[in-house]
Chain A
Amino acid sequence: MPKALILDGADHKDPRVDYIGSLLEEIMAERGWVVESVTLRRLELDSCRGCFGCWVKTPGECVIKDDAIDLLRKQVTSDLVVDLTEVLFGSPSYHTKLFMERGLGSALPFMIKRKGMTQHPLRYECEPMHLMIGVAREIVQGDAELFRRLASRCCPGAVTEVIDSDASDDKVKELLLVLLNEVGVKV
Chain B
Amino acid sequence: MSRSYTFLIGSPKPSGSTSESLADHLMGRLESEGERVSKVSVRKALASEEAMNDLLDRVQSSDVIVLCFPLYYYTLPAICLEAMTLIRRRYSEKAPTQGLLAIVNQGFPEESHAEQALESCRSFCDHVSIGYIGGLVMPAGGVVNGEPLMKVRGRVRSQIKGLNMAAMDLVNGDPIGSTAAKAMARPPMSPWLYRIIANRNWKRMARKNGTMKQLKDRPYA
Chain A positions within 8 Å of B, measured between CB atoms, are: 11, 47-52, 55-61, 72-73, 76-77, 88-95, 97-98, 100-101, 108-113, 117-119, 123-124, 140, 142-143, 146, 149-150, 153-154
Q: Which 3 A-B pairs have the closest CB atoms?
A: A97-B78, A76-B220, A109-B202
B interface size (C-beta, 8 A): 53
Task: Kindly state whether residue B211 has any CB partner on chain A within 8 Å.
Answer: yes
The main secondary structure of chain B at its interface with chain A is: helix
Q: Specify which of A48, A51, A61, A94 lies most central, judged by the most chain B CB atoms within 10 Å of its CB.
A: A94
The reply to whether B202 and A55 contact each other, CB–CB distance below 8 Å, is yes
The complex places the Cα of A59 from the Cα of B217 at a distance, in Å, of 6
Chain B positions within 8 Å of A, measured between CB atoms, are: 11-14, 17, 43, 46, 70, 72-79, 81-82, 84-85, 108-110, 112-113, 116, 119-121, 123-124, 126-127, 191-192, 194-195, 198-199, 202, 205-206, 208-209, 211, 214-221
The reply to whether A49 and B12 contact each other, CB–CB distance below 8 Å, is yes
Residue of B nearest to A108 (CB): B216
The complex places the Cα of A130 from the Cα of B43 at a distance, in Å, of 29
The reply to whether B123 and A60 contact each other, CB–CB distance below 8 Å, is no
Residue of A nearest to B42 (CB): A47
The complex places the Cα of A55 from the Cα of B46 at a distance, in Å, of 26
| Contacts between the two chains (Cβ within 8 Å), count | 147
Add 13 more A-B contacts to A57-B209, A77-B221, A90-B123 (CB < 8 A).
A11-B85, A47-B43, A50-B11, A59-B219, A88-B81, A89-B127, A90-B120, A91-B116, A94-B85, A97-B73, A109-B199, A118-B108, A118-B195
Min C-beta distance of B37 to chain A, whole Å: 24
Residue of A nearest to B139 (CB): A118
When distances are taken between beta carbons in the complex, the residues of chain A under 8 Å from B199 are: 109-111
Min C-beta distance of A46 to chain B, whole Å: 9
Specify which of A55, A109, A118 is in contact with B191 (CB 8 Å cutoff): A118
Min C-beta distance of B135 to chain A, whole Å: 13
The reply to whether B217 and A60 contact each other, CB–CB distance below 8 Å, is yes
Specify which of A49, A89, A113 is in contact with B84 (CB 8 Å cutoff): A89
The complex places the Cα of A61 from the Cα of B220 at a distance, in Å, of 8
When distances are taken between beta carbons in the complex, the residues of chain A under 8 Å from B72 are: 48, 97, 101
